[in-house]
Amino acid sequence: MLVPLKFVPLFKYRIWGGEKLKSVLNKDYDSDAIGESWEISDVPNDETIVADGQFKGYTLKQLIQEFKGEFLGESVYKQFGEAFPLLIKFIDAKTPLSIQVHPNNEYAKTHHNSFGKNEMWYIMQADQDANIIVGFEKEIDKIQFKQHLEDKTVLEVMHHENVTKGDAFYIPTGRIHAIGAGVMLAEIQQTSDVTYRVYDYDRVDKTTGKTRDLHTDQAIEVLDFNVENSYKTVYDKELNTSNTLIHSPYFKTNFLPVKGELTKDYTNTDSFVIYMCVSGALSITHAEKEYVLQTGETMLFPASINQVVLKSNNAEILEVYF
């Protein structure tokens, strides 16, 4: 019988990484400048493994091969086969990320044999006056954009938005973006590691002694230059309710604040379900066994799990499924 599963995170050095994943989320690593904790990953050569229990050491691929739709959900298995469709991360930006953009499914398939990279951010913590870049501030075209890159004035045409805990943003493919300094967030995305950098502050990576590659030609091919009135997602925060946060064709995420006891029934959800604990702690009971989920931890419920009982004094969960 399949059970709730925790995976061993993969910790990723990043030129912009800090210490919050360790100091705030209690991640266990010894390296410096860890920018990302890959919580659940099926990226080739970066597969997370089950942390404990009867399936300890299993990768997502092995679980899918053995249990198929029972693990993924029949409709998900029919669509993706043995490829797990989501990559789940926590990110800590001590300094800004590069200005970047991701391609859609068609472009990524043709050029990288990969999924595209639609993603979302949920801000878990932000230093005072910390901001993100998302989209353009004003209408420009490809020629003007190239000129801004040459003049190193591209930041002037980006939309900067100050952020605080609980802010959420959907980042569809084609939308230019960057996480700013002092921001820690949860990221939910398609299983893809394809990123086109367009500007990186001329930084030198201490591990290589070189600046990082830019991908301006590819970026310009996939960039969406449309300007939106607002980039932030507005959502409800009703207690003990799965409040719609971001529902896209690529994943669905709800905001679930838990206080007291709550029974969740997933009988009609033909998908695995992932919980990311973004605040507080809760106990999860399934088949008379209790599991604990703390801030900064992630748990996956295979699709065959129809019901769980949640208990918490005060926890906030991102509920993710396909």
Residue 56 lies in a domain: yes
Q: Cβ(282)–Cβ(311) under 8 Å?
A: yes
From residue 5, alpha-carbon distances to 39, 59, 217, 225, 301 in Å are 11, 11, 41, 41, 6
Neighbours of 13 (CB within 10 A): 15
Structure tokens at 93: 């930006």
Which is catalytic among the residues 14, 175, 197, 212? 197
- Backbone φ, ψ for residue 113 (5° rounding): 50, 50
Amino acid at position 10, single letter = L
Predicted local distance difference test score (pLDDT) of residue 104: 94
Can you tell me the distance from the alpha carbon of 76 to that of 90, in angstroms, rounded to the nearest whole number?
24
Q: DSSP of 267-315, one letter per residue? A: TT--S-EEEEEEESEEEEEETTEEEEEETT-EEEE-TT--EEEEEEEEE
Q: Cβ(157)–Cβ(134) under 8 Å?
A: no
197 is catalytic: yes
Shared domain check, 252 and 215: no
Residue spans of the chain under pLDDT 70? none
Q: Cβ(93)–Cβ(180) under 8 Å?
A: yes
Predicted local distance difference test score (pLDDT) of residue 302: 98
Q: Cβ(142)–Cβ(216) under 8 Å?
A: no
Q: Cβ(86)–Cβ(40) under 8 Å?
A: yes
Predicted local distance difference test score (pLDDT) of residue 201: 93
Can you tell me the distance from the alpha carbon of 208 to that of 134, in angstroms, rounded to the nearest whole number?
29
- CATH number of domain containing 43: 2.60.120.10
Shared domain check, 213 and 167: yes
Q: Cβ(14)–Cβ(35) under 8 Å?
A: yes
CA-based angle 298:304:308, to the nearest 5? 55
Shared domain check, 189 and 312: no
pTM of the model: 0.97
Structure tokens at 302: 């295979």
Residue 2 lies in a domain: no
Predicted local distance difference test score (pLDDT) of residue 98: 95
Shared domain check, 310 and 188: no
Shared domain check, 175 and 83: yes
Domain total for the chain?
2
Expressed as residue numbers, the domain containing 311 is 243-321
Note the pLDDT tens digit of each residue in 173-221.
999 999 999 999 999 999 999 999 999 999 999 899 999 999 999 999 9
Residue 238 lies in a domain: no
Shared domain check, 83 and 152: yes
Can you tell me the distance from the alpha carbon of 90 to that of 69, in angstroms, rounded to the nearest whole number?
27
